[in-house]
Amino acid sequence: MPRDPNTLSNYDDVRTTHVVANFEIDFEKKRLVGSVLLKLKSLTDNLKSVVLDTSYLDIESVGVEDRTSKFTVAPRSEPYGSPLTIQFDKSISKGEEIEIDISLSTTSNCTALQWMTPEQTPNKKQPYMFSQCQAIHARSVLPSQDTPDVKATVDFNFRSPLPVVASGLPTGAKDYLPGKDGKPGTMLYTFKQEIPIPSYLFAVASGDLASASIGPRSTVWTGPEELKDCQWELEDDMERFMEAAESIVYPYAWTQYNALILPNSFPYGGMENPIFTFATPTIISKDRQNIDVIAHELSHSWSGNLVSNASWEHFWLNEGWTTYLERRIQAAVHGEPHRGFSAIIGWKALQDSIERFGEDNEYTKLVVDLKGKDPDDAFSSVPYEKGFVFLYHLENLIGKTKWDKFIPHYFETFRMKSLDSFEFKKTLIDFFASDAEASKKLKDLDWDKWLFSPGYPPKPDYDESMVKACYALSDAWESRSKGSKTEFTPKPSDIDGWVANQSVVFLERLQGTQTLSAADIELMGKTYAYDTSSNVELVSRFYVLALKAKCHSFYKPTAELLGTVGRMKFVRPLYRCLNEVDRDLAIKTFLKNKEFYHPICRQMVEKDLFS
């Protein structure tokens, strides 16, 4: 059986080695139209057909070099789409390469692309389009072996009336064609990705874009009006993050590391598309407090992009490792206490996910069963945070000095490859085979419990030096809310000198106890100005606290925030909470803004509200 149950392709028989994507970006009809050339290599003798993943694609024609072929598109098989089968008149031998040229266009049902009208963009001047292909949405953009177990090099050729970025190194803009019938002219924007990547890292965006330098090998791209703020937010730390990551693993492989700050509807904190990380505008908080998202996406340059999980059942290998590296970068740049501080915030996110799923739920395991399931349904903090806890446990078990020697070995062993959890285990045990002490500890480790048991892992002892003040303040508010005679009068100086994440810990701790009244929430908002902050990390958590306290004065501001932010980290919890206290307002808000949200976010909120 193939390692990846979430693809309909026959990738164990034949593998894609190179992709040439030739598309025109048609903003008027909201589609990509063009062709895809796939180069494939047979892994078996007597190969008579190739099966590719597609979803809601309009396939016009299929051509195969030097042979006669016919193609069929099967009916949809939810949630995996419609397999495209290409049959040959004569078989292909093992090791033989073929080229398949497919003419196609995307359709209005495409789940990977969001098309925005000028009115939906920040400056309301030009339309905008961006992709989000993880986990299995690339098949709605191009026929592919849509599995992280297959990697291929890619040439991107996009014709557009507006600037384009894609997940390859830019190789120029050329061949201007004047527009007809009042339409704008177009340029051909080209990119080359010479490091093999899985299909979910296929990425493109086009819109009213401008760029600025944020480091010797990094630029930021965003709307012209937002460019100065984005540059200021990122320029101090970008190269420091890169140098820290390189000192932990090995030199950065992708030449450039750039950030595209997307419009507000982007559904994730960031997407680690190679060379161009796609990032949420919520990291631009005007205080440089939320750019650890960039440290996370940068870490994916090693974990996920160079070394990939073989299937979404082993997603923790991408996200657990990336969260671990992100926190090592934080420790290198800001000091070791910041690693423990971030891990404490992460533990709260893990708690929230496990409580939402239930401790016995399949999706609270590190290695999950996704046969017949949509990987998006399993998406949560679990692979990130439970994966981090496992790696942090291994670091402490073996000793940091020894563990740090394994890190580059692991990433070199699987460089440009995909692996599952069993290969990770074998590689770790083999590396320490000559170290009797470490070897015994690894063999005595209850691997099955760590990998396959649902619920909570053992909670590590983290450095709490940065959270003590947060806990003390939350305890004071809780005592006050219970009518304690202990004198506590809230004042703005309570949070003087705090970084934003200390307020996050303070608010999340109060969410856990939930003893505050609506009057307490009103007072907190006025005292600490959380509700007027530009930092959505703070505002969203304050609104969750307000909704749980049934503080009516923050119902409408919550609905307004939901109309301006599309990041699922904020959108889904706020909708769940608003739904509990005012379902009519929650439904009305969603219906009003559903076209603003990316298709992935829209589908997940619909499940939250209507399932």
Whether 5 is covered by a domain: the verdict is no
Catalytic residue (one of 189, 384, 410, 597): 384
Whether 1 is covered by a domain: the verdict is no
Whether 221 is covered by a domain: the verdict is yes
- Residue 257 annotated among the catalytic residues of the structure: no
Residues 6+ apart with CB under 8 A from 239: 215, 216, 217, 218
Model pLDDT for residues 539-584, shown as the tens digit of each residue: 999 999 999 999 999 999 999 999 999 999 999 999 999 999 999 9
What's the Rg (C-alpha) of the chain? 25
Confidence tier at 329 by pLDDT (50, 70, 90) = very high
The pair phi, psi for residue 71, each rounded to 5°, is -130, 150
pLDDT number for residue 390 = 98
pLDDT number for residue 513 = 84
pLDDT number for residue 486 = 73
Whether 108 is covered by a domain: the verdict is yes
Q: Is residue 482 pLDDT above 90, yes or no? A: no
- What is the enclosing helix (H) or strand (E) of 332? helix 316-334
How are the residues of the chain apportioned to helix, strand and coil, as percentages rounded to the nearest 5? Answer: 40, 20, 35
561 closest CA partner among 524, 584, 520, 530: 530
**Cis geometry, peptide bond prior to residue 205 (ω within 30 degrees of 0):** no
Pair 198, 213 in one domain: no
Q: Could you give the CA distance from residue 126 to residue 115 in angstroms, rounded to a whole number? A: 11
- Using alpha carbons, list the distances in angstroms from residue 195 to 307, 424, 581: 11, 22, 50
The pair phi, psi for residue 473, each rounded to 5°, is -70, -40
Instruction: Return the exposure string of 380-396: e unless at least 16 CB atoms fall within 10 Å of the residue's CB, then b.
Output: bbbbbbbbbbbbbebbe
Which tokens sit at 116? 């925005």
Number of H helices, E strands in the chain: 18, 21
Q: Is residue 512 pLDDT above 90, yes or no? A: no
Whether 8 is covered by a domain: the verdict is no
Full strand arrangement of the beta sheet holding 97-105: 58-64, 97-105, 31-42, 14-26, 152-160, 186-197, 169-177
DSSP for 7-74, please give it.
Answer: --S-TTTEEEEEEEEEEEEETTTTEEEEEEEEEEEE-STTEEEEEEB-SS-EEEEEEETTS-EEEEEP
Pair 412, 496 in one domain: no
Pair 248, 102 in one domain: no
Catalytic residue (one of 297, 313, 326, 537): 297
Which CATH number does the domain housing residue 297 bear?
Answer: 3.30.2010.30
Bridge partners, 174 (sequence order): 188
236-243: average pLDDT: 97
CA 385 vs. chain centroid, Å, equals 14
pLDDT number for residue 2 = 81
Angle CA 46–52–53, to nearest 5: 155
Model pLDDT for residues 310-324, shown as the tens digit of each residue: 999 999 999 999 999
Q: Which of 174, 204, 234 finishes a domain?
A: 204
Model pLDDT for residues 180-195, shown as the tens digit of each residue: 998 999 999 999 999 9
436-463: average pLDDT: 97
Strands 169-177 vs 186-197: parallel, antiparallel or unpaired: antiparallel
Check if the beta carbon of residue 384 is closer than 8 Å to that of residue 346.
yes
Q: Which of 204, 229, 263 finishes a domain?
A: 204
- Using alpha carbons, list the distances in angstroms from residue 199 to 110, 112, 253: 15, 12, 19
Pair 48, 186 in one domain: yes
Pair 322, 405 in one domain: yes
Pair 560, 516 in one domain: yes
**Amino acid at position 259, single letter:** A
Q: Could you give the CA distance from residue 9 to residue 7 in angstroms, rounded to a whole number? A: 5
**Amino acid at position 10, single letter:** N
Whether 601 is covered by a domain: the verdict is yes
Q: Which of 286, 301, 316 finishes a domain?
A: 301
pLDDT number for residue 238 = 97
Known binding-site positions for Zn(2+): 296, 300, 319
Which CATH number does the domain housing residue 412 bear?
Answer: 1.10.390.10
Known binding-site positions for a peptide: 132-134, 267-272, 567-569
Q: Is residue 484 pLDDT above 80, yes or no? A: no
Residue found under tokens 């996050």: 504
Q: Could you give the CA distance from residue 604 to residue 268 in angstroms, rounded to a whole number? A: 12
- What is the enclosing helix (H) or strand (E) of 169? strand 169-177
Domain count, the chain: 4
Model pLDDT for residues 263-303, shown as the tens digit of each residue: 999 999 999 999 999 999 999 998 898 999 999 999 999 99
Pair 312, 456 in one domain: yes
Confidence tier at 483 by pLDDT (50, 70, 90) = confident
Bridge partners, 61 (sequence order): 103
Confidence tier at 457 by pLDDT (50, 70, 90) = very high
Neighbouring CB atoms inside 10 A of 73's CB total: 17
- Residue 96 annotated among the catalytic residues of the structure: no
75-93: average pLDDT: 96
Whether 269 is covered by a domain: the verdict is yes
Whether 20 is covered by a domain: the verdict is yes
Pair 456, 572 in one domain: no
Q: Is residue 66 pLDDT above 90, yes or no? A: no
199-228: average pLDDT: 98
**Cis geometry, peptide bond prior to residue 178 (ω within 30 degrees of 0):** no
Q: Could you give the CA distance from residue 529 to residue 538 in angstroms, rounded to a whole number? A: 10
Residue 448: give the domain boundaries. Answer: 306-466
143-158: average pLDDT: 98
Pair 59, 176 in one domain: yes
Q: Could you give the CA distance from residue 243 to residue 228 in angstroms, rounded to a whole number? A: 24
Confidence tier at 371 by pLDDT (50, 70, 90) = very high
Pair 461, 339 in one domain: yes
506 closest CA partner among 478, 534, 533, 532: 478
Q: Is residue 487 pLDDT above 90, yes or no? A: no
| Mean pLDDT taken over the chain | 96
21-47: average pLDDT: 97
- In the DSSP assignment, the letter for residue 362 is G
Which CATH number does the domain housing residue 542 bear?
Answer: 1.25.40.320
Q: Could you give the CA distance from residue 292 to residue 139 in angstroms, rounded to a whole number? A: 31
Known binding-site positions: 132-134, 267-272, 296, 300, 319, 567-569
Bridge partners, 36 (sequence order): 21, 102
pLDDT number for residue 104 = 98
Pair 487, 364 in one domain: no
Model pLDDT for residues 572-590, shown as the tens digit of each residue: 999 999 999 999 999 999 9
Q: Could you give the CA distance from residue 471 to residue 466 in angstroms, rounded to a whole number? A: 10
What are the E-state strand segments in 364-515?
417-419
Could you give the angle at which helices 583-593 and 568-581 cross, rounded to 10 degrees? 140
Q: Is residue 467 pLDDT above 80, yes or no? A: yes
Which CATH number does the domain housing residue 132 bear?
Answer: 2.60.40.1730
Residue 257 C-beta-side C-alpha neighbours within 13 Å: 29
Pair 317, 296 in one domain: no
Q: Could you give the CA distance from residue 166 to residue 155 in angstroms, rounded to a whole number? A: 10
CA 63 vs. chain centroid, Å, equals 35
